[in-house]
Amino acid sequence: MAKNQQLPEMSAITDTDLICFSHLRWDFVYQRPQHLMSRFSKQFRTFFIEEPIFHDAADTFQVRLTAESVWVVVPLLNNKNTDKPSVITRQKQLLQLLFSQKKIGKFIAWYYTPMALQISSHLKPRMVVYDCMDELSAFKFAPAELKIMELELFRKADVVFTGGYSLYQAKKNAHHNIYPFPSSIDKAHFSQSRTCCEEPEDQRHIPPVRIGFYGVIDERFNIGLIKEVAERRPDWQFILIGPVVKIDPNDLPRTANIHYPGNKLYSELPRYLAGWDIAMIPFEKNESTKYISPTKTPEYLAAGKPVISTSITDVVNPYAHNDLVYIADTADEFINAAAYELSKSPAQTRAWLNSVDAFLENVSWDNTYMQMLGKIRDCMAGSTLQAGKLKSVA
């Protein structure tokens, strides 16, 4: 939190709950939704509604209160009837039951996926927030109707946030009240990597040089790049932390110097980062990565780790433009960048780290939360509460 910065006045909206509809599960990977909802739960009673899970018992839902004071709600639907109209109707019924049991009256509807409109369009929120963190329609297995549903969500939304500047540029003409909020960091958490020294058991045996990645390993991951670099530099070790989804694990490169420790808790990441020489963001350049703003970029930097990334737009600008990360789209470029970084003197590293710290000084999820809260407060005060107005898309 920046010095002398105060939380926005909340007196007008403390009687309001927040209902967040997400396509991501709370316990999957700790990222933007978790960071933001954990902070909003300090001001609102916050419910995080996940997509349904099918089981062989009656329709119901699981509700649990997290350590961050977020109510996580998982609809459980009987698997004997999975046709779409039935699934939607039954989720609506469970939502009504949740609202009744938890005595939800006035509320803000917060969406991470437009598809959730199918189960919530009958609700009457006090206002609607769309936090457009990714271009979901470009992701593998995206529903065909997602773009249509997003247009409907733009019509309903009172305020729209985007997960980065490039996504903002693509969406800015779709709504009258839209703001970019790129990936941020919990600096206190990741700066632990600069001083912690206890090596995780499953990383302790891996020799240097260590080049690491954490995150979801999916269709966005540049398998070919990692395979070529690893084969050409068998003296370097590549550590790939995270769940493998939407791709066949058998397609991943398997060499003696590539290591897959699996998924790790958010709390564990600083210890792994501490043992790396370089961190990387080896994403493909395709439709699914065109507008992403990887949260791991500032996290790696806050940990004090040099970063090599492919030329993802929101990594190139601002990070590469400020000489904070290396950009490499080919094996030659990656190897040259890593070799140069490994040859730097301590004085060069200190100078770079000073630049990193200056750049990240006011970057934090606390600041992002407060700014979003201010936009919501403005809407609740009526200054921008104009749901239904939609600019033509350029």
pLDDT higher for 245 or 12? Answer: 245
Superfamily of domain 187-359: Glycogen Phosphorylase B; (3.40.50.2000)
pLDDT digits (tens, 9 = 90+) for 299-309: 999 999 999 99
Average confidence (pLDDT) over 177-186: 93
Q: Give the count of beta carbons closer than 10 Å to the beta carbon of residue 196.
A: 14
Q: In CATH terms, are 17-184+365-380 and 187-359 the same topology?
A: yes
- The Cα-based distances of 46 to 27, 35, 127 in angstroms read 16, 13, 15
Alpha carbons 17 and 26: distance in angstroms, whole number: 18
pLDDT digits (tens, 9 = 90+) for 57-93: 999 999 999 999 999 999 999 999 888 889 999 999 9
Average confidence (pLDDT) over 264-279: 95
How high is the pLDDT of residue 298?
95
User: What CATH number belongs to 17-184+365-380?
Assistant: 3.40.50.2000
How high is the pLDDT of residue 219?
87
DSSP one-letter string for 296-341: HHHHHHHTT--EEE---HHHIIIIITTTSSEE-SSHHHHHHHHHHH
pLDDT digits (tens, 9 = 90+) for 196-242: 878 899 999 999 999 999 999 988 899 999 999 999 999 999 999 99
Q: Is the pLDDT of residue 2 over 80?
A: no
pLDDT digits (tens, 9 = 90+) for 108-167: 999 999 999 999 988 999 999 999 988 776 666 667 788 898 999 999 999 999 999 989
- 210-223 burial, b if ≥16 CB within 10 A, otherwise e? bbbbbbbbbbbbbe
Q: Which pTM was predicted?
A: 0.86
Going from N- to C-terminal start, the domains of the chain cover 17-184+365-380, 187-359
